[in-house]
Amino acid sequence: MKYADEFRDKEIALGLARTIRAETDPARPYRFMEFCGGHTHAISRYGLEDMLPKNVRMIHGPGCPVCVLPAGRIDMAIRLAERAEIILCVYGDLMRVPGSQGASLLKAKARGADVRMVYSTIDAIRIAEENPEREIVFFAIGFETTTPPTAVMIRLAEKKQLSNFSVFCNHVLTPPAMQNILESPDIRNIGRVEIDGFVGPAHVSTIIGTAPYEFFAEEFGKPVVISGFEPLDMMQAILMLVRQVNEGRHEVENQYSRAVTRDGNLRAKEEVSDIFELRDQFEWRGLGQVPYSGLKLKRTYATYDAEVRFGMNELRVDDNPACECGAILRGVKKPVDCKLFGTVCTPETPMGSCMVSSEGACAAHWTYGRFRDHQQRRAS
């Protein structure tokens, strides 16, 4: 695959690992959080941690949209799907996410609810056109990458004058969550994570650009390097972070310049700001209520807002108390610290959301990391 294979070259990766080793100061720790689930996945898949010196540690962040969706929002979607007139369209990853008491959309579907997996928001529009007598609700989730496709879909629904179509909006924003990790007072309950720098999101940044991180790097004195998802991209980004730490800099740097600019995708940003506005706050699994971190449809688009259209009530439910997703999403704990990991909780029977999506820290560790643990144990 062009623009992917070249960035996976093993020799260059080993060379970068040597350069990182040569430049790190063995006397100090380098703790970098990769915000994005795509990076978490890549680190596990390519075994990047094995190539890094021991004092360079990667901390997995909360950047997996499926993982941060609170169980209450899943329950709300299940209630919608149980109504006979509704067809609920969802991205496939959402089917297994646990709501309260082991409920999931997959189980609701098995009981007869009309839940349909779609690959793209365009599919949801087609389903609405084909079923004029039913109500079609699109379960919208995701960060800044998936929001523009939802916006385009609403614009299309308006253009096609679809009167049987609405959106259950759960879109969230990256920068407020990064900020929350660094400053939330309640984080002290599980122990604050020490972070020396951030690997910034790749595809989120194609949309929002690098500018929104500038305030953040300045205010918190932490370096941010926007990085692509391929292994060489990540190794370079880690080297760039090491250099910033060594030189006492805290700037926003862009490793992923082939796809990311300072201003991002203006057209996509316009689509989003035409249709959405900020919520005062939104609940994140693991982070709690985060101010100005979620989006809702503007009042002028209220007919497309499922929460308004169906008078949906906010549901709050507590997560399974044994599940450590909350601490894992904040980088305070690792998947293996959870008693349920790999025993009760596996991708087949996920107890928490971090085990559902392939970008979740628990699922990534289950798929790739546990063999490494095993090998290391045998070696020692």
Partner 1 sequence: MCLAIPAEVTKLLPDEMAIVSIDGVSKEISVALIENLVVGDYVIIHVGYALTKIDPEEARRTLELLRELSVEGQGVAP
Q: In this structure, is the dihedral angle defined by the CA atoms of residues 10, 15, 18 and 23, taken in order, positive or negative?
A: negative
If binding is defined by CB under 6 A, does position 173 make contact with ligand SF4? no
Tell me whether residue 182 or residue 336 sits nearer to ligand SF4 (CB atom): 336
Q: In this structure, is the dihedral angle defined by the CA atoms of residues 153, 158, 162 and 168, taken in order, positive or negative?
A: positive
How far, in Å, CA of 294 to CA of 265, rounded? 20
Tell me whether residue 38 or residue 175 sits nearer to partner 1 (CB atom): 38
Tell me whether residue 199 or residue 340 sits nearer to ligand SF4 (CB atom): 340
Residues 273 to 332: which contact ligand SF4 by CB under 6 A? 323-325, 328
Q: Which residues pair with 172 in a beta bridge?
A: 294
Instruction: Give least dist CB 204 to partner 1, A.
Output: 8
Helices and strands in the chain: count of H runs, count of E runs? 17, 13
Instruction: Give least dist CB 138 to ligand SF4, A.
Output: 26
Are 150 and 139 in contact by the 8 Å Cβ rule? The answer is no
Instruction: Give least dist CB 178 to ligand SF4, A.
Output: 21
If binding is defined by CB under 6 A, does position 74 make contact with ligand SF4? no
If binding is defined by CB under 6 A, does position 105 make contact with ligand SF4? no
Task: Output the furthest CA–CA distance in the chain (Å, rounded).
Answer: 68
Tell me whether residue 122 or residue 322 sits nearer to ligand SF4 (CB atom): 322
Q: Which residues pair with 295 in a beta bridge?
A: 278
Helix or strand or coil: residue 206? helix
Instruction: Give least dist CB 368 to ligand SF4, A.
Output: 15
C-alpha radius of gyration, the chain, whole number = 21
Instruction: Give least dist CB 102 to ligand SF4, A.
Output: 12
Contacts (Cβ under 8 Å, ≥6 apart) of 348: none
Q: Which does 14 bind (CB under 5 to 8 A by kind): ligand SF4, partner 1, none?
A: partner 1
If binding is defined by CB under 6 A, does position 71 make contact with ligand SF4? no
Burial, 100: exposed, middle or buried (Cβ in 10 Å; 0-12, 13-18, 19+)? middle
If binding is defined by CB under 6 A, does position 355 make contact with ligand SF4? yes
Single out the residue of 292, 310, 32, 35 nearest to residue 164, CA to CA: 310
Amino acid in the structure at residue 44: S
Instruction: Give least dist CB 237 to ligand SF4, A.
Output: 26
Q: Which does 255 bind (CB under 5 to 8 A by kind): partner 1, ligand SF4, none?
A: partner 1
Q: Which does 25 bind (CB under 5 to 8 A by kind): partner 1, ligand SF4, none?
A: none
Chain residues in the site for ligand SF4 (CB under 6 A):
323-325, 328, 335, 338, 340-341, 345, 350-352, 354-355, 362
